């Protein structure tokens, strides 16, 4: 008949009265009453907050249940043409992925060939550098010999 909140407040108030609050005349009893009444109000507020939170959670749960049911119904009523189009699209994506993989393999083969060509270029440059060095040494010797011959003629 009565809400739980009203019964709780009435019970605590009655308990406070039995313990001497409200007219006993003693100062220790009055001090106990003044500290207990704010606690009673705080407990009442906590009860209200708890009830509000429970109501909100129940409402959210009901909404989630309705949403889940609507998702299930939507899945069972799906259009066959839509499903076929999605499957076709998935198949086309698979074909494209295979072509991309084939192209990636070709790119890797080309990269290996470029690496081999780069190695050959480096070897050729080493050989040419040695040839240039030998040619420069021979030119310097030829110049030294020519200068020596000119010096011998001048004497």
Q: Please state the domain extents for the chain.
A: 1-77, 94-155
Interval 101-140: pLDDT, tens = 999 999 999 999 999 999 999 999 999 999 999 999 999 9
Asked if 47 and 8 count as a contact pair (C-beta separation under 8 A), the reply is yes
Type and span of the H or E element at 111: helix 80-154
Of 53, 55, 41, 56, give the one whose Cα is nearest residue 5: 41
- Over residues 1-14, the pLDDT tens digits come to 445 555 455 555 54
Which residue has 């959210």 as its token pair?
60
pLDDT in tens, 23-67: 444 444 444 555 555 555 565 566 666 777 778 888 888 888 888
pTM: 0.37
Contact 20, 29 (CB under 8 A): yes
152's tokens: 């011998």
pLDDT at residue 104, rounded to an integer = 92
Give the pLDDT band of residue 146 (cuts 50, 70, 90). very high
DSSP3 helix / strand / coil % (the chain, rounded to 5): 90, 0, 10
């Amino acid at each position: 008949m009565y809400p739980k909140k009203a019964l709780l407040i009435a019970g605590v108030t009655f308990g406070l009265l039995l313990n001497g609050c409200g007219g006993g005349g003693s100062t220790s009893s009055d001090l106990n009453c003044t500290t207990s009444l704010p606690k009673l109000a705080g407990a009442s507020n906590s009860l209200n907050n708890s009830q509000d939170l429970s109501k909100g959670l129940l409402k959210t749960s009901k909404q989630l249940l309705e949403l889940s049911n609507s998702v299930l119904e939507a899945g069972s009523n799906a259009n066959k043409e839509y499903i076929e189009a999605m499957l076709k699209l998935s198949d086309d994506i698979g074909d494209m992925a295979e072509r991309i993989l084939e192209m990636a393999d070709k790119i890797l083969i080309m990269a290996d060939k470029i690496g081999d060509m780069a190695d050959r270029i480096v070897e050729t440059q080493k050989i040419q550098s040695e040839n240039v060095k030998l040619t420069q040494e021979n030119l310097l010797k030829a110049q030294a010999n020519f200068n020596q011959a000119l010096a011998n003629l001048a004497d």
